[in-house]
Structure 1
Amino acid sequence: MAERTQLFTDLIDGKIPKRVPIMSMFTHEFAIQYAGMDLKKVQWDTTDLEACFEKVCEDFYSDLLPVSAFRMPSFYKILGSRNFVMGSNGFLQHPEVEGLKVEEYDDFIASPYNCIVEKVLPNLYSELNADPVTRSIVMAKAFKAYTDENNNLFRIYGNLIGKYGYGTVSLFAAFCEAPFDILTDQLRGFKNISMDVRRIPDKVEAAVNAVTPLMIKMGTQPFPNKYNATFIPLHMAPYLRGKDFERFYWPSFKKLVEGLAEKGMRSYLFVEEDWMRYIDYLAELPAGTVMTFEYGDPKLVKEKLGKKHIIGGFYPLTLLKTGTKQECIDKAKELNDILAPGGGYYFTFDKAIITADSVNIDNTRAVLDYVANNANY
């Protein structure tokens, strides 16, 4: 545990670690499937969840805890959720939703928090669209389920970190979204926001500015620590025109990351899709921002960001499914040769592994073992 923790603290301190740290990321859905359990059953009755997680820990190398559960279905069911709905295949889906109606923009701009509580939540959760007494009871039940689920998960995490000696650095110490992303994902939806930026651009700009302080508050860690980070998945930027990115996305997002940094908190960005046309913007963020890249040019990223930020990702899960074992290992070596020199690099795949059939298990193990034994700076 001490050695693995040191790998990441050195990485964050700008020192050259003993070797390249590894952060494997498997979801609870993968773990349940991989352990041969019923995906639908175990998510509702989590008695066997620890055993599922433990099988991942036993079989796949990582320097940090390799498996976690981000959303459990129980509290969404109690709330009558429209934005997170359990699918027939056992996977929680995020349908296109409209939590904020277009005529409610002014209310949101005036007070984002009040508008979310009074208007958005009843729109997104049918059981909260009720009289005050019923709404309070539903919220109390859902919050009890939420805390019960999380307390159980934290117990499992603690057990596995102690048993397997994982590092104690957390890149998921808190969570929030870029202001434009929260407006898109939960409030207006992809289709509506795409129309809004053309039809009512001033209101969109005012809305992202208004919600920025709320996102800083949401992303504030309970116990700030420079070796932990606030997780921010980046969604909409690659789908925006350059001038729309510059006006609606970047200023509030930069203010969010800087606002967290001013409070002593590091940001961990999942740079989804291809950000290469916006790579110079990322260079402006506070030094030591951690980034996992999904797609793009690793050489360009190393050139533009490698001296200031901490970089991971780029390894395609698709190769683990389709490539030979040697091809998979060769890809890990190629990325290490590009990204490791000079430090500031950790190994992780380009996205979390969600299903047991999305990768070749032997290839996945082989790559992680190769990196653990051979990847140096």
Structure 2
Amino acid sequence: MADVKALQAERTQIFHDVHDNKIPKRVPVNLSLPLEPLAGYGGIDLVEAQWDVSKCEPALDKLCRNFYSDICPGGTSLRYPGYYTPLESQSFVMGSNGTFQHPEVVGMLPEEYDDLIENPYNCLLEKVIPRQYKALKLDDPINMMLSFTKAVLGYNAHMAEQGVLVSKYTEKYGYYSTSRYGGGFTEAPFDFLADQLRSFKGISMDVRRMPEKVAEACEALYPITLKKGMPKVVSNYASVFIPLHMPTFMREKDFAKLWWPSFKRMVEEYASLGIHSRIFCEDNWDRYLDYLYELPTDTIMMFEYGTPKLIKEKLGKKHIITGLFPVTMLKTHSKQECVDYTKQLLDILAPGGKFIFSLDKNPISIGDVNMDTFNAVAETVRDYGVYGNAGETAGLQFNKEDYRPSPSRKLESKYYNTWEQYKESHPGVSDFGEAKLQGFEDSLFQFLMFLLL
């Protein structure tokens, strides 16, 4: 037990050093298998695992014993059938093999931009969510209430089961606890508009036909996406995860005018509160690296594709870099070729600190990786990625006082009440109820907006 606690302390220290702008003892290894490949690793039927994540416990225990990582190496997912099934989701659909897919869907019609701009939260609840979740029939309120209640119960149950499993093995094997410090999840306002409201095809047409409406919609959605990502507890070791979807499919002039301003403002507003953003730069962002440099210091940037040397040169002294190791290599290349490439990446990205090793994306199934090769890569990072100057300053220092975002429109809706508003309409309620009732309000907001991410 003492050895496990010592290992956990070492792992915690190397992650904290990266976030504290220090060069760590060694490069942190941030590698894991999501629920789908973990089930395959254990020979477990994926449909069964999706409904009961505890079925994966033997597989996770085996993985922890046979695979190296500095975080718990498996058992998490964002998509479970316990909340999508009762809602009759059309935006996230589980196939017969247990894999979730996200079809091209339209939740908001082009003629509804003005409704969204005028009262965004009302529009999302009254029009978009009922279109994407067919059980929420406005003309059948009793069954709608029952279906929604089942979904909330399913969401809470799935996340609790997942949390218990990961926490158990984090402590058993002495991993760094990422959940201990909290965090958030949201999207850039433009991506939120594109993803489930207008669709890829729809937003691409809107950018050309009505760019002014798109800009106004991003401004209207800004307070919603900002609030969605807000962590419950502010910590230098927590972050808001923001996957970036649309920029590489856009002309740079459209990106600069319509996508970038609201996103940059959001990341800066988080930074002004002492909150770091963890962004996933999907596809290849080489042409946008100068934009990324402008983001607040110690923004954590995970890259899918790109030129490692260029990324390190442009961003490595200011931001924390991760990603870039191709998951496809774990299946298509020999163990030695993968080990050699791991060392090449470390030689480029590790010097000077501000680097965490991870894949460019998660594997979808266990067939995507050769586990022996995967473990060889992980052990290479652990053994080769050692610093000789641990404890030195890594680069530019984050200071929340450097960021002063302009005031934004507040979230206002008849469907969302602050404690003050609730107290005004229910003057007899005790002030002792504030924490619980406001907590319920915010939890419901989080779940509703999660349905649109």
Gaps of 5+ in 2: 1-7, 388-453
Give a deviation string over 1:83-123, Cα, whole Å, max 9, x none.
00011222000000001111111111112111111111101
Q: CA deviation at 1:56?
A: 2.6
Residue in 2 aligned with 1:82? 90
Q: CA deviation at 1:200?
A: 1.0
Residue in 2 aligned with 1:319? 329
CA contact (8 A) 2:321 2:356 kept: yes
Aligned partner (choices 357, 369, 378) of residue 368 of structure 1: 378
| Alpha-carbon spacing, 1:172–1:58, altered in 2? closer, same or farther (3 Å) | farther
Aligned partner (choices 17, 31, 37) of residue 44 of structure 2: 37
Matched, 1:56 2:63: yes
Residue in 2 aligned with 1:123? 131
Spell out the pairing of 1:105-254 with structure 2 (5 A cutoff): 105-130=113-138, 131-170=140-179, 173-254=183-264
CA contact (8 A) 1:31 1:55 kept: no
Report the Cα distance in structure 2 between the residues aligned to 1:50 and 1:112, rounded to whole angstroms. 42
AA in 1 matched with 2:194: T
CA contact (8 A) 1:25 1:353 kept: no
Superposed CA RMSD in Å reads 1.3
Gaps of 5+ in 1: none
Q: CA deviation at 1:325?
A: 1.1
Shifted more, 329-338 versus 42-51: the winner is 42-51
Report the Cα distance in structure 1 between the residues aligned to 2:62 and 2:77, rounded to whole angstroms. 15
Report the Cα distance in structure 1 between the residues aligned to 2:300 and 2:284, rounded to whole angstroms. 17
Report the Cα distance in structure 2 between the residues aligned to 1:15 and 1:371, rounded to whole angstroms. 18
Matched, 1:19 2:29: no
CA contact (8 A) 1:219 1:260 kept: no
Matched, 1:333 2:343: yes
Matched, 1:91 2:102: no
Report the Cα distance in structure 1 between the residues aligned to 2:65 and 2:77, rounded to whole angstroms. 18
The secondary structure found in structure 2 opposite 1:225 is: coil
Report the Cα distance in structure 2 between the residues aligned to 1:344 and 1:140, rounded to whole angstroms. 44
Report the Cα distance in structure 1 between the residues aligned to 2:318 and 2:360, rounded to whole angstroms. 21
| Alpha-carbon spacing, 1:345–1:45, altered in 2? closer, same or farther (3 Å) | closer
AA in 1 matched with 2:137: N
Q: Which has the larger radius of gyration?
A: 2
Shifted more, 72-81 versus 57-66: the winner is 57-66
Q: CA deviation at 1:71?
A: 1.1
Matched, 1:342 2:352: yes
Residue in 1 aligned with 2:3? none
CA contact (8 A) 2:32 2:71 kept: no
Residue in 2 aligned with 1:272? 282
The secondary structure found in structure 2 opposite 1:294 is: strand
Report the Cα distance in structure 1 between the residues aligned to 2:53 and 2:336, rounded to whole angstroms. 38
CA contact (8 A) 2:44 2:56 kept: no
Give a deviation string over 1:240-286, Cα, whole Å, max 9, x none.
00111001110011011112112221111111100010010000001
Q: CA deviation at 1:126?
A: 0.2
AA in 2 matched with 1:141: K
Give a deviation string over 1:343-372, Cα, whole Å, max 9, x none.
111111111122111111211111111111
Spell out the pairing of 1:269-308 with structure 2 (5 A cutoff): 269-308=279-318
TM-score, scaled to structure 2: 0.81
Give a deviation string over 1:172-200, Cα, whole Å, max 9, x none.
72100111111111111001111010111
Report the Cα distance in structure 1 between the residues aligned to 2:30 and 2:62, rounded to whole angstroms. 17
Residue in 2 aligned with 1:4? 11
Report the Cα distance in structure 1 between the residues aligned to 2:32 and 2:245, rounded to whole angstroms. 19
Identity %: 49
AA in 2 matched with 1:93: Q
AA in 1 matched with 2:18: L
Shifted more, 39-48 versus 103-112: the winner is 39-48
Report the Cα distance in structure 2 between the residues aligned to 1:14 and 1:47, rounded to whole angstroms. 38
The secondary structure found in structure 2 opposite 1:255 is: helix
Give a deviation string over 1:310-354, Cα, whole Å, max 9, x none.
001111111111111111001000000001111111111111122
TM-score, scaled to structure 1: 0.97
Runs of 4+ deviating beyond 6 Å: none
The secondary structure found in structure 2 opposite 1:189 is: helix
Report the Cα distance in structure 2 between the residues aligned to 1:89 and 1:168, rounded to whole angstroms. 31
AA in 1 matched with 2:149: A
Report the Cα distance in structure 2 between the residues aligned to 1:180 and 1:117, rounded to whole angstroms. 18
Residue in 2 aligned with 1:263? 273
AA in 1 matched with 2:384: N
CA contact (8 A) 1:225 1:265 kept: yes
AA in 1 matched with 2:24: P
Q: CA deviation at 1:376?
A: 2.0
Q: CA deviation at 1:52?
A: 2.9
Report the Cα distance in structure 2 between the residues aligned to 1:357 and 1:263, rounded to whole angstroms. 42
The secondary structure found in structure 2 opposite 1:264 is: coil
